[in-house]
Amino acid sequence: MAANFKYTAKPNPVVGALILERDQIICEGFHERYGGPHAEVNCLEQLEKLRNKQRENLTLLCTLEPCNHFGKTPPCTDEIIKSGVKNVVIGSVDPNPKVSGSGIKKMQENGIKVTQGVLDEEARKINEYFFFKHADNRPFITIKIASSKDGKSHDAKGSTTWITSEDSRNDVQLLRAEHDVILTGGNTVRNDNPRMNARVNFPVNQPKKILLSSQETWDMNFHFFKNADFEITNETDLSKIMRSSFLKESNSIMVEAGPKLVNAFLKNRLCDRLVIYKSQVEIGNDGVNWFENDNALDKYGFKIKSNYTIGPDIKMVLENG
Protein backbone atom coordinates (compact mmCIF):
# COMPACT_ATOMS: atom_id res chain seq x y z
CA MET A 1 0.00 0.00 0.00
CA ALA A 2 2.80 2.45 0.81
CA ALA A 3 3.99 2.14 -2.81
CA ASN A 4 0.74 3.84 -3.89
CA PHE A 5 2.23 7.11 -2.63
CA LYS A 6 5.71 6.84 -4.14
CA TYR A 7 4.98 9.54 -6.72
CA THR A 8 3.71 12.08 -4.17
CA ALA A 9 6.11 11.28 -1.30
CA LYS A 10 9.26 11.61 -3.41
CA PRO A 11 12.01 12.62 -2.91
CA ASN A 12 11.21 11.22 0.53
CA PRO A 13 11.28 7.42 0.80
CA VAL A 14 8.26 5.14 0.52
CA VAL A 15 7.21 4.27 4.09
CA GLY A 16 4.28 2.42 5.61
CA ALA A 17 3.38 1.62 9.22
CA LEU A 18 1.06 -0.89 10.88
CA ILE A 19 0.00 -1.52 14.46
CA LEU A 20 -0.72 -5.11 15.44
CA GLU A 21 -2.69 -6.41 18.38
CA ARG A 22 -1.58 -10.01 18.56
CA ASP A 23 -1.78 -10.97 14.85
CA GLN A 24 -4.49 -8.51 13.87
CA ILE A 25 -3.88 -5.20 12.11
CA ILE A 26 -5.75 -2.48 13.97
CA CYS A 27 -4.14 0.66 12.48
CA GLU A 28 -2.23 1.59 9.35
CA GLY A 29 -0.59 4.71 8.02
CA PHE A 30 1.54 5.82 5.09
CA HIS A 31 3.78 8.72 4.15
CA GLU A 32 1.40 10.15 1.59
CA ARG A 33 2.97 13.38 0.44
CA TYR A 34 6.30 15.20 0.61
CA GLY A 35 6.33 17.56 3.58
CA GLY A 36 3.31 15.86 5.15
CA PRO A 37 3.05 13.66 8.25
CA HIS A 38 5.15 10.51 8.25
CA ALA A 39 3.67 7.02 8.14
CA GLU A 40 4.19 6.38 11.87
CA VAL A 41 2.36 9.57 12.84
CA ASN A 42 -0.57 8.81 10.55
CA CYS A 43 -0.74 5.33 12.03
CA LEU A 44 -0.62 6.55 15.63
CA GLU A 45 -3.39 9.06 14.95
CA GLN A 46 -5.65 6.11 14.19
CA LEU A 47 -4.59 4.48 17.45
CA GLU A 48 -5.69 7.56 19.40
CA LYS A 49 -9.24 6.96 18.19
CA LEU A 50 -9.26 3.47 19.70
CA ARG A 51 -10.09 3.20 23.39
CA ASN A 52 -9.24 0.59 26.00
CA LYS A 53 -6.18 -0.75 24.17
CA GLN A 54 -3.34 -2.07 26.30
CA ARG A 55 -0.56 -0.15 24.53
CA GLU A 56 2.26 -2.28 25.94
CA ASN A 57 0.79 -5.30 24.14
CA LEU A 58 0.79 -3.61 20.73
CA THR A 59 3.49 -3.81 18.05
CA LEU A 60 4.32 -1.04 15.58
CA LEU A 61 5.80 -2.19 12.26
CA CYS A 62 7.43 0.35 9.93
CA THR A 63 9.36 0.22 6.66
CA LEU A 64 12.25 2.37 7.87
CA GLU A 65 13.70 3.39 11.19
CA PRO A 66 11.55 6.24 12.59
CA CYS A 67 13.17 9.66 12.30
CA ASN A 68 14.72 11.31 15.35
CA HIS A 69 15.25 14.85 14.12
CA PHE A 70 13.30 17.98 13.26
CA GLY A 71 12.88 18.41 9.52
CA LYS A 72 9.66 19.32 7.76
CA THR A 73 7.94 17.41 10.56
CA PRO A 74 8.79 16.71 14.24
CA PRO A 75 10.60 13.48 15.23
CA CYS A 76 8.47 10.33 14.88
CA THR A 77 10.35 8.75 17.80
CA ASP A 78 8.79 11.27 20.21
CA GLU A 79 5.29 10.35 19.04
CA ILE A 80 6.01 6.62 19.37
CA ILE A 81 7.35 7.06 22.91
CA LYS A 82 4.30 9.15 23.90
CA SER A 83 1.94 6.54 22.43
CA GLY A 84 2.87 3.90 24.98
CA VAL A 85 3.59 1.24 22.35
CA LYS A 86 6.42 -0.96 23.68
CA ASN A 87 7.34 -3.07 20.63
CA VAL A 88 8.65 -1.72 17.31
CA VAL A 89 9.68 -3.78 14.28
CA ILE A 90 11.76 -2.02 11.60
CA GLY A 91 12.26 -3.18 8.03
CA SER A 92 15.57 -1.38 7.55
CA VAL A 93 17.79 1.10 9.36
CA ASP A 94 17.48 4.55 7.79
CA PRO A 95 20.67 5.32 5.76
CA ASN A 96 20.25 9.06 6.28
CA PRO A 97 23.06 10.17 8.66
CA LYS A 98 20.55 12.46 10.42
CA VAL A 99 18.63 9.35 11.49
CA SER A 100 20.77 6.24 11.12
CA GLY A 101 20.73 4.40 14.43
CA SER A 102 19.65 7.37 16.54
CA GLY A 103 15.95 6.60 16.22
CA ILE A 104 16.52 3.04 17.39
CA LYS A 105 18.71 4.18 20.26
CA LYS A 106 16.23 6.74 21.54
CA MET A 107 13.35 4.25 21.53
CA GLN A 108 15.45 1.65 23.35
CA GLU A 109 16.47 4.22 25.95
CA ASN A 110 12.78 4.80 26.60
CA GLY A 111 11.94 1.17 27.24
CA ILE A 112 10.81 0.14 23.77
CA LYS A 113 11.90 -3.22 22.39
CA VAL A 114 13.18 -2.73 18.84
CA THR A 115 13.57 -5.50 16.26
CA GLN A 116 15.35 -4.48 13.06
CA GLY A 117 16.17 -6.00 9.68
CA VAL A 118 12.79 -7.64 9.07
CA LEU A 119 12.19 -7.63 5.29
CA ASP A 120 15.30 -5.48 4.92
CA GLU A 121 15.82 -6.43 1.28
CA GLU A 122 12.25 -5.47 0.36
CA ALA A 123 12.56 -2.12 2.14
CA ARG A 124 15.76 -1.37 0.26
CA LYS A 125 14.31 -2.42 -3.09
CA ILE A 126 11.26 -0.19 -2.85
CA ASN A 127 13.53 2.72 -1.84
CA GLU A 128 16.38 1.95 -4.24
CA TYR A 129 17.17 5.57 -5.11
CA PHE A 130 17.04 6.73 -1.48
CA PHE A 131 19.49 4.06 -0.30
CA PHE A 132 21.81 4.64 -3.28
CA LYS A 133 21.98 8.39 -2.61
CA HIS A 134 23.16 7.91 0.96
CA ALA A 135 25.58 5.10 0.10
CA ASP A 136 27.23 6.79 -2.91
CA ASN A 137 26.79 10.48 -1.99
CA ARG A 138 25.16 11.32 -5.29
CA PRO A 139 21.79 10.71 -6.94
CA PHE A 140 21.06 7.49 -8.83
CA ILE A 141 21.44 8.27 -12.55
CA THR A 142 19.22 6.79 -15.25
CA ILE A 143 19.99 7.59 -18.89
CA LYS A 144 17.12 7.18 -21.33
CA ILE A 145 17.60 7.12 -25.09
CA ALA A 146 15.35 6.50 -28.10
CA SER A 147 17.25 4.67 -30.83
CA SER A 148 16.56 3.65 -34.39
CA LYS A 149 17.02 -0.01 -35.32
CA ASP A 150 20.47 0.84 -36.68
CA GLY A 151 21.58 2.63 -33.50
CA LYS A 152 21.01 6.24 -34.54
CA SER A 153 19.78 9.16 -32.49
CA HIS A 154 18.49 11.37 -35.29
CA ASP A 155 18.95 12.38 -38.89
CA ALA A 156 21.98 14.65 -39.31
CA LYS A 157 19.88 16.87 -41.57
CA GLY A 158 17.89 17.93 -38.52
CA SER A 159 14.70 15.90 -38.85
CA THR A 160 12.66 15.91 -35.62
CA THR A 161 10.23 13.11 -36.50
CA TRP A 162 9.49 10.54 -33.78
CA ILE A 163 11.70 7.44 -33.86
CA THR A 164 9.80 5.32 -31.35
CA SER A 165 6.09 4.54 -31.01
CA GLU A 166 3.41 6.19 -28.92
CA ASP A 167 3.50 3.16 -26.60
CA SER A 168 7.16 3.79 -25.84
CA ARG A 169 6.61 7.51 -25.35
CA ASN A 170 3.84 6.78 -22.85
CA ASP A 171 6.18 4.45 -20.98
CA VAL A 172 8.74 7.25 -20.76
CA GLN A 173 6.19 9.34 -18.85
CA LEU A 174 6.12 6.69 -16.10
CA LEU A 175 9.92 6.67 -16.03
CA ARG A 176 9.99 10.44 -15.61
CA ALA A 177 7.42 10.26 -12.82
CA GLU A 178 9.74 7.98 -10.83
CA HIS A 179 12.65 10.42 -10.87
CA ASP A 180 13.30 13.59 -8.89
CA VAL A 181 15.18 15.49 -11.63
CA ILE A 182 15.31 15.56 -15.44
CA LEU A 183 18.62 16.72 -16.97
CA THR A 184 19.26 17.70 -20.57
CA GLY A 185 21.48 19.84 -22.81
CA GLY A 186 21.04 23.02 -24.79
CA ASN A 187 20.83 21.41 -28.24
CA THR A 188 17.94 19.23 -27.13
CA VAL A 189 15.97 22.21 -25.82
CA ARG A 190 16.69 24.33 -28.90
CA ASN A 191 16.06 21.64 -31.51
CA ASP A 192 13.21 19.66 -29.96
CA ASN A 193 11.52 22.14 -27.61
CA PRO A 194 10.57 19.29 -25.23
CA ARG A 195 8.36 19.62 -22.16
CA MET A 196 10.19 16.90 -20.22
CA ASN A 197 7.57 16.64 -17.52
CA ALA A 198 5.72 13.52 -16.42
CA ARG A 199 2.40 13.46 -18.27
CA VAL A 200 0.58 10.80 -16.31
CA ASN A 201 -3.01 10.25 -15.13
CA PHE A 202 -2.22 10.17 -11.40
CA PRO A 203 -0.88 12.71 -8.87
CA VAL A 204 2.89 13.16 -9.05
CA ASN A 205 5.51 15.54 -7.70
CA GLN A 206 6.86 16.78 -11.01
CA PRO A 207 10.63 16.42 -11.44
CA LYS A 208 12.86 19.43 -11.16
CA LYS A 209 14.89 20.21 -14.27
CA ILE A 210 18.54 20.95 -15.03
CA LEU A 211 19.75 22.43 -18.29
CA LEU A 212 23.47 22.16 -19.05
CA SER A 213 24.38 24.96 -21.41
CA SER A 214 26.93 27.72 -21.91
CA GLN A 215 24.29 29.92 -23.58
CA GLU A 216 23.90 32.98 -21.37
CA THR A 217 20.30 33.95 -22.10
CA TRP A 218 17.29 31.78 -22.88
CA ASP A 219 13.80 32.37 -24.16
CA MET A 220 11.63 31.33 -21.21
CA ASN A 221 8.84 30.44 -23.67
CA PHE A 222 10.54 27.12 -24.39
CA HIS A 223 8.36 24.32 -23.00
CA PHE A 224 11.23 23.09 -20.83
CA PHE A 225 11.03 26.13 -18.54
CA LYS A 226 7.27 26.26 -18.05
CA ASN A 227 5.70 25.31 -14.70
CA ALA A 228 8.94 23.83 -13.36
CA ASP A 229 11.62 24.28 -10.75
CA PHE A 230 14.71 24.50 -12.96
CA GLU A 231 18.36 25.44 -12.95
CA ILE A 232 20.57 26.44 -15.87
CA THR A 233 24.29 25.79 -15.41
CA ASN A 234 27.36 26.08 -17.60
CA GLU A 235 29.33 23.80 -15.29
CA THR A 236 31.14 21.16 -17.37
CA ASP A 237 32.34 18.97 -14.49
CA LEU A 238 29.51 16.44 -14.19
CA SER A 239 30.71 15.22 -10.79
CA LYS A 240 30.42 18.75 -9.42
CA ILE A 241 26.89 19.01 -10.78
CA MET A 242 25.98 15.82 -8.94
CA ARG A 243 27.06 17.51 -5.69
CA SER A 244 25.31 20.83 -6.36
CA SER A 245 22.98 22.38 -3.80
CA PHE A 246 20.14 22.17 -6.35
CA LEU A 247 20.32 18.38 -6.03
CA LYS A 248 20.70 18.29 -2.26
CA GLU A 249 17.28 16.74 -1.64
CA SER A 250 17.21 14.66 -4.83
CA ASN A 251 17.75 10.90 -4.93
CA SER A 252 17.48 10.29 -8.66
CA ILE A 253 18.22 11.95 -11.98
CA MET A 254 16.96 10.99 -15.42
CA VAL A 255 19.19 12.14 -18.27
CA GLU A 256 17.41 12.80 -21.57
CA ALA A 257 19.87 14.35 -23.96
CA GLY A 258 21.70 13.93 -27.25
CA PRO A 259 24.66 11.62 -27.97
CA LYS A 260 27.35 14.11 -26.93
CA LEU A 261 26.05 14.63 -23.40
CA VAL A 262 24.97 11.00 -22.97
CA ASN A 263 28.45 9.79 -23.87
CA ALA A 264 29.99 12.32 -21.49
CA PHE A 265 28.00 10.75 -18.64
CA LEU A 266 29.06 7.27 -19.74
CA LYS A 267 32.75 8.21 -19.97
CA ASN A 268 32.59 9.72 -16.48
CA ARG A 269 31.01 6.50 -15.18
CA LEU A 270 27.93 8.43 -14.17
CA CYS A 271 25.23 6.05 -15.29
CA ASP A 272 23.65 3.43 -13.05
CA ARG A 273 20.85 2.36 -15.36
CA LEU A 274 20.55 2.76 -19.12
CA VAL A 275 17.12 2.47 -20.70
CA ILE A 276 17.03 2.09 -24.48
CA TYR A 277 13.83 2.27 -26.50
CA LYS A 278 14.70 0.79 -29.89
CA SER A 279 12.34 1.16 -32.82
CA GLN A 280 12.10 -0.84 -36.03
CA VAL A 281 12.85 2.30 -38.06
CA GLU A 282 16.24 2.59 -39.79
CA ILE A 283 17.68 6.05 -40.33
CA GLY A 284 20.65 5.02 -42.45
CA ASN A 285 24.11 6.44 -43.07
CA ASP A 286 22.95 10.04 -42.65
CA GLY A 287 22.01 9.36 -39.03
CA VAL A 288 24.02 10.30 -35.94
CA ASN A 289 25.23 7.30 -33.92
CA TRP A 290 24.35 7.04 -30.25
CA PHE A 291 27.61 5.34 -29.39
CA GLU A 292 31.09 5.56 -30.87
CA ASN A 293 31.39 1.83 -31.54
CA ASP A 294 29.37 -1.36 -31.31
CA ASN A 295 30.89 -2.55 -28.04
CA ALA A 296 30.53 0.74 -26.15
CA LEU A 297 28.09 -0.67 -23.60
CA ASP A 298 30.27 -3.71 -22.90
CA LYS A 299 33.24 -1.40 -22.42
CA TYR A 300 31.40 0.48 -19.68
CA GLY A 301 30.41 -2.75 -17.94
CA PHE A 302 26.68 -2.74 -18.65
CA LYS A 303 24.68 -5.95 -18.42
CA ILE A 304 21.16 -6.50 -19.73
CA LYS A 305 18.62 -6.75 -16.90
CA SER A 306 15.48 -6.91 -19.01
CA ASN A 307 14.54 -6.91 -22.68
CA TYR A 308 10.93 -6.87 -23.87
CA THR A 309 8.61 -5.37 -26.46
CA ILE A 310 6.50 -2.27 -26.08
CA GLY A 311 4.17 -2.07 -29.06
CA PRO A 312 6.44 -2.33 -32.12
CA ASP A 313 9.52 -1.27 -30.15
CA ILE A 314 11.96 -3.03 -27.83
CA LYS A 315 12.71 -1.69 -24.36
CA MET A 316 16.10 -2.74 -23.05
CA VAL A 317 17.22 -2.00 -19.48
CA LEU A 318 20.92 -2.28 -18.69
CA GLU A 319 22.73 -1.79 -15.39
CA ASN A 320 26.31 -1.58 -14.22
CA GLY A 321 27.87 -4.75 -12.85
To the query of whether residue 56 is one of the catalytic residues in this protein, the response is: no
Please give the Cα distance from 107 to 96 (Å, whole number): 17
Q: DSSP alpha helices (H): ranges in 17-71?
A: 39-48
Whether the CB-CB separation of 104 and 81 falls below 8 Å is answered with no
309 closest CA partner among 279, 285, 288:
279
Helix or strand holding residue 288 (H, E): strand 287-289
Which of 32, 40, 45, 319 does the annotation list as catalytic? 40
Contacts of 169 (CB under 8 A, 6+ apart): 162
Contacts of 5 by beta carbon, 8 Å cutoff, 6+ apart: 14, 30, 31, 32, 33
Q: Which residues are catalytic?
A: 40
